[in-house]
Amino acid sequence: MNQLKISHLTVTYSNGFHAVNDLSLEIGNGMFGLLGPNGAGKSSLMKTLAGLQKCSSGTMMMNGTDISENPDYMKQNLGFLPQDFGVYPKVSAQDLLHHIALLKGISNTSERHEQVDSLLEKVNLTGFRKKEVRTFSGGMRQRFGIAQALLGNPRIVIVDEPTAGLDPGERNRFNTLLNAISKDVIIILSTHLVEDVRNLCSEMAVMDRGRILTAGEPEQLIAGLDGKIWAKSLVQQEPETAGYQVISRQLINRKLYLTVFSEDQPEGFHAVTPQLEHVYFKTLSQNI
C-alpha cells in the first residue's frame, strides 16, 4: 500500500499569488479524482507533487519520505502526464520512450527494451512505434503520454486532464487503461468530466482557489444530498430565487432548469436524484 500525505501545502508564484493555499490531503492506492474549475490550482498542485516547482511551505510525504527534501525518491517512483506536454522532438515514439526510460534510470538494455515494447503494446501503439509522436493524433499522443508515465513501474501516477479533447472512443480506451493499473498504485487524475470521476475514482476532492473544499468517496458525497436536491423548469429568467441555495441553472433538452439545495421541498420544485455534478456545484456555490 502506498500513501501520499500532503500537509498544509502552500505554493506561491513570484507575483505573490497563492495557487495552492494551506492544502492538506491523504491519498492511498486507487484512483483519486481532483475536480475544480479553471484556475482552481489543480495543475499547480500536481506540478509541485511532481517536483517541477517548489512549494513555499508545508510538507509532502510519499510512503514516509519527505519529497521536498528527497526529490530523488519521487523521481524514481513517479509517472507524470502533464496537462501541456509541450513540443515533441523529431524522433519516433519508440526512440522517445527509450530516451525517457534512460532519463528515468532504466539503464539495463534488455529491461528497457522489454518495458518499451510491452508499454507500446499496452497502449496500442506498436504499429505506430516508428512514427514521430508529433505526427500523432490527440488520442494517440495521450496514449503515448501514459506509456511514458508508466515507464519504470511507478508507485504514483499523476495525470492532468488526460482526456481533454479526446473523442468518446479514445476517452473510453484511455480510462480503461488507467483503471487497469490503478489497483496497486496511486493515480491522481484531474479532470473537468464529473462523470469520469464518478465512474473511475474510489476517492475524490473538489478544489477551488487553492483549497480542498470537500473530499471523500463519490458515492458517500452523493448520498449526503439524498432528498435535498430540487429542480424546476424556468419559463423565463425568473428573478424569484431569493431564499434558495441555487446550485445551477442548466439547459436540459433545450429547457432551462433551476436546481437548488434545500432540506425541504420548495414550492413548485420537483425532487431530483442527486448526481455527482450536484455535489460539485453545491460545493462550489458554498465557496462564493
Ligand X SMILES: Nc1ncnc2c1ncn2[C@@H]1O[C@H](COP(=O)(O)OP(=O)(O)OP(=O)(O)O)[C@@H](O)[C@H]1O
Q: Footprint of ligand X on this chain (CB under 6 A)?
A: 13, 15, 17, 19, 36, 38-44, 83
Rank residues 38 and 110 by Cβ distance to ligand X and give the closer one: 38
Identity of the residue numbered 224: G
What is the number of the residue whose Cβ is closest to Mg ion?
A: 43
Strand partners, 258: 232, 249
Residue choice 83, 92, 199, 275 for contact with Mg ion (CB under 5 A) = 83
Residue 252 Cβ vs Mg ion, minimum distance, rounded to whole Å: 28
Give the nearer residue to ligand X in terms of CB position, either 19 or 50: 19
Q: Least distance to ligand X from the beta carbon of 205, Å?
A: 12
Strand duo 3-12 + 18-28: pairing: antiparallel
Q: Beta strands of 209-244 (E only): which ranges?
A: 211-216, 229-233
Residue 271 interacting partner from ligand X, Mg ion, none (CB closer than 5 to 8 Å by kind) = none
What DSSP assignment string belongs to 12-59? E-TTS-EEEEEEEEEEESEEEEEE--TTSSHHHHHHHHTTSS--SEEE
What phi, psi does 269 have (nearest 5°)? Answer: -105, 150
Nearer of residues 43 and 163 to Mg ion, judged by Cβ: 43
Give the nearest distance from C-beta 150 to Mg ion in angstroms. Answer: 21
Q: Which does 15 bind (CB under 5 to 8 A by kind): Mg ion, ligand X, none?
A: ligand X
Nearer to Mg ion, 213 or 258 (CB): 213
- Shortest Å, Cβ 125 to Mg ion: 25
- Are β-strands 186-191 and 30-35 bridged in parallel, bridged antiparallel, or unpaired? parallel
Residue 43 near Mg ion by CB under 5 A: yes
Give 6 or 116: the residue with its C-beta nearer to Mg ion.
6
Distance of CA 240 to the CA centre of its chain: 37
Nearer to Mg ion (CB atom), residue 12 or residue 83 = 83
Closest distance of CB 162 from Mg ion, Å: 11
The cell for 167 is 473523442
CB of 36 to ligand X, least distance (A): 5
Q: How many Å apart are CA 271 and CA 283, to the nearest integer?
A: 19
CA 81 vs. chain centroid, Å, equals: 10
- Distance, CA of 190 to CA of 155 (rounded, Å): 18
Return residues touching Mg ion (CB under 5 A).
42-43, 83
